[in-house]
Structure 1
Amino acid sequence: VGNDTEPYKTQKYYGQSAFPSSAQTLTVLYNDHFKPEITTSFETGFEIRMFKNRLTADATVYESVTKNQIIDIPMDFSTGYSGAVLNGGKVRNRGIELTLGGKIIDGDNFKWNATTNWSRNWNKVMELPEGIDGQQIIGTGGTASIIAKVGGTTSAIYGFGFVRSPEGQIVYDNAGLPAYPEEIQYIGDASPKWKAGLTNSFSIGNFTMNVTIDGQYGGIIYSQTHHKLSEQGKLNSNNMGRETGFIIGEGVVQNADGSYSPNTKQVKTADWYTRYYRRANIESNSFDASFGKLREISLQYNLPKRWLKNTGLQSLQFSIFGRDLATVSDFPIYDPETAALNGDTILPGIEMGQMPSPATYGFNLSLTL
């Protein structure tokens, strides 16, 4: 499968300016020898039906490799351009999808069918474009960045974290506040380790009820909302130091001889929260993205066919439903199933001022002539 790019990427052009009757030159260096982005994929699996279709199983494994990716890279402004469009890089995805279904009860008056699925994907950056020095910034939200490195993934989150001692304890400075690190570090991956779902269908007479739950395990989310609310002490988890007015941070300080000793410096509560949960501290504002959701409940009624005689209708169905009714998760800000918009690009694993996710309720009326 091939893929192309947006218009005006292969030659120099002049764009419209905000000033009337004027034009401006492009700031991204064009590429007049593009190659098409190519994805080569392979998929295989099997499907089993047994016991007169009472039990079904489906398993699929796949691999896809994308090469000659069309990538924007930044450039030194002294060149006259802010960036360039390149071909290059190679990304591999491997995965497995499993589905198991069955008719648990298949009576005349009561039926219970269930289907469960499980999937996992392994993503790996095999190559980066020539001219890129070790890493490619895919996107940035707030102070968190999605950075691709050879051997890593395309959903790896990097940013500033805590300075830690060899034993893993947080290092505090002489003022009694968490020390500033010098460089960004790997915080975690936005992609979950696996996803799963379960759908149950119950039928009694002309009534059918469907219940669907799903979720994922693993992955992290950086929350800028959590940074803001914690910095201002507005969350239930920010109780420490409210009554006393001061906090002694749990961690160590580095001594002049390079050894470490427990931190005993007390600081004002507001100062501690401002430093510990500062906007640039991706580690303190990142959380497990695992969740389980009551995705949908629906109740359907099929009008008996004998009631439709002489009406010109073959069937009439009425149903009511509710979607996204409940979420179970340790993520402290609304819904962990979130993404951030950075311009027109979606950045998974980065939450930026998310609004609460609404539940949806409705009804359907279906007629067949």
Structure 2
Amino acid sequence: MPLNGIYQPELLPNMKLQPSMAGNFEFGADVRFLNNRLGFDVAVYQADIKKQILQLDVPSESGVARKIINAGHLRNRGIEFAINGRPVDGKDFTWDVNLNGSRNINKIIDLDPSIRTYQMNEDQGVHAIAEVGKAYGELVTDYGYVRDPKSGLPIINTNGTSFKRGYASVGNITPDLNLGFSNSFTYKNWSLGFLIQARIGGDIFSASHQYGTGRGTLASTLPGRDAASGGLAWTDLAPDGSVRQRNDGMIPDGVFESGTKRVVNGNEVDLSGMTYPEAYDKGYVSAMSPLNYYGMIGDWGIGIREASVFDATYVALREVSIGYNMPSSITERLKLNKLRLMLVGRNLGYLFNNLPDGIHPEGIRNNATSAFSEYGGTPFVRNMALTVQVGF
């Protein structure tokens, strides 16, 4: 019998859950040259995870919320590497460098005979799914662009004020490559080091961008708001019949849906398959206000979530440190074996951030393996520290 709408395994004798099973193999090489001044460490692996514990929805008429089963076969294949060297090894000056990285490719081999697609996470109509034959963490949504098969442009609904929405595959959460690059220098008693970390590829959905676009609070929504920023002159006819001349007209890049018609100078014009710029140039439609233009993309009711899914590539300056070892003449006087001062800065900033409007590419809502969305995430916080290391 269910308890609080959830299957309780100890109360269901026929339901025999088993532990997940994992099997893997790995081979690699660690080679050194030039008296250990140059080294290569490479490993190639495959890991298969089977019998994962999944929760599946069941019909509400059953009296329970979901059932728990063993299912699934996830395969990970990848490579990890590290290259380290000492280009300079002098009496007073040394330079050490290290580059490491990893590349992982995964695939859903199997789920369960009763399902082909399993939803792992969801946010605002964007779903991270596992689908047989595809990579882990595919992103799909019903709020995607429906595109014209000929031009590939988004289709504009017959009302002319919104894009036509439909199902779309919009990305994958897994990065293509993770990299780390560190350098350390020493000159006599001084030391200097820095660490750069990069994520290449992997997509996230930004609710901050979706909200900010629809409400016009992002810097990326400034273009078109006046003539200086590219706005077009147009005549705004208010419901009360008053006329106002404006210079914030905007033209969406899209194709009118089949069946779109307008009455122009008393004649009905068929706009089916015509692009909005073409219809504008012929005088069939007027320019849009920024409110309508950005609302077509970001309004929560009619907006397109696909427009807020981005490649989350970034390059971050993770750490910079500078240190000084006090000379023996000072440490001996203080009866110390070691006295070292170090200034360290961590998370100093992004050297490159592919997300617009300074949105934090690491501000994911939670730390689940299937997490993919940013929703007003925490800012990128710098840390500075002064440390004193004393040895007796």
Same fold flag (TM > 0.5): yes
The partner residue of 1:122 within 82, 105, 119 is 105
Q: Note the alpha carbon deviations across 1:109-134, whole angstroms, 9 max, x for none.
A: 111110111210001111112322x2
Is 2:165 the counterpart of 1:181?
yes
Show the counterpart of 2:132.
150
Q: What is the percentage of aligned positions where both structures have the same residue?
A: 27
Q: TM-score, normalised by structure 2?
A: 0.82
Show the counterpart of 1:3.
none
Aligned partner letter, 2:201? G
Is 2:6 the counterpart of 1:28?
yes
1:251-266 correspondence to structure 2 within 5 Å: 251-256=254-259, 260-263=273-276, 264=279, 265-266=285-286
Is 2:90 the counterpart of 1:107?
yes
Show the counterpart of 1:52.
35
Question: Alpha-carbon deviation of 1:154?
Answer: 2.1
Tell me the distance in 2 between the aligned counterparts of 1:74 and 1:312: 70
Distance 1:291 1:209, change over 3 A: same
The partner residue of 2:292 within 263, 271, 276 is 271
Question: Would you say the 8 A contact 2:75–2:107 is kept in 1?
Answer: yes
Tell me the distance in 2 between the aligned counterparts of 1:358 and 1:36: 39
1:149-228 correspondence to structure 2 within 5 Å: 149-159=131-141, 160-166=143-149, 167-182=151-166, 184-228=167-211
| SS of corresponding position for 2:274 | strand
Question: Alpha-carbon deviation of 1:299?
Answer: 1.0
Question: Alpha-carbon deviation of 1:345?
Answer: 4.2
Question: Would you say the 8 A contact 1:138–1:147 is kept in 2?
Answer: yes
Q: Note the alpha carbon deviations across 1:312-358, whole angstroms, 9 max, x for none.
A: 532222211001112011212432123223xx846433111113211
Tell me the distance in 2 between the aligned counterparts of 1:123 and 1:289: 19
Aligned partner letter, 1:329? N
Question: Would you say the 8 A contact 1:137–1:145 is kept in 2?
Answer: yes
The partner residue of 2:316 within 289, 293, 315 is 293
Show the counterpart of 2:348.
325
Q: How many residues align?
A: 343
1:38-49 correspondence to structure 2 within 5 Å: 38-49=21-32
Is 2:363 the counterpart of 1:338?
yes
Question: Would you say the 8 A contact 2:53–2:70 is kept in 1?
Answer: yes
| SS of corresponding position for 1:255 | coil
Tell me the distance in 2 between the aligned counterparts of 1:346 and 1:153: 14
Tell me the distance in 2 between the aligned counterparts of 1:354 and 1:223: 9
Show the counterpart of 1:230.
213
Q: TM-score, normalised by structure 1?
A: 0.87
| SS of corresponding position for 2:211 | helix
Question: Would you say the 8 A contact 2:43–2:79 is kept in 1?
Answer: yes
Tell me the distance in 1 between the aligned counterparts of 2:208 and 2:218: 11
Question: Would you say the 8 A contact 2:155–2:164 is kept in 1?
Answer: no
Aligned partner letter, 2:360? D
Show the counterpart of 1:249.
252
Q: Note the alpha carbon deviations across 1:20-48, whole angstroms, 9 max, x for none.
A: xxxxx321223441111011111110011
Question: Alpha-carbon deviation of 1:248?
Answer: 2.5
Tell me the distance in 2 between the aligned counterparts of 1:241 and 1:253: 22
Show the counterpart of 2:75.
92
Aligned partner letter, 1:212? L
Distance 1:137 1:335, change over 3 A: same
Aligned partner letter, 2:109? M
Show structure 1 runs of 5+ residues with no match. 1-11, 14-24
Distance 1:216 1:345, change over 3 A: closer
Q: Note the alpha carbon deviations across 1:276-301, whole angstroms, 9 max, x for none.
A: 12346221111221111111001122
| SS of corresponding position for 1:161 | strand
Question: Would you say the 8 A contact 2:145–2:168 is kept in 1?
Answer: no
Distance 1:345 1:76, change over 3 A: farther
Aligned partner letter, 2:103? R
Higher helix share: 2
Question: Would you say the 8 A contact 1:303–1:317 is kept in 2?
Answer: yes
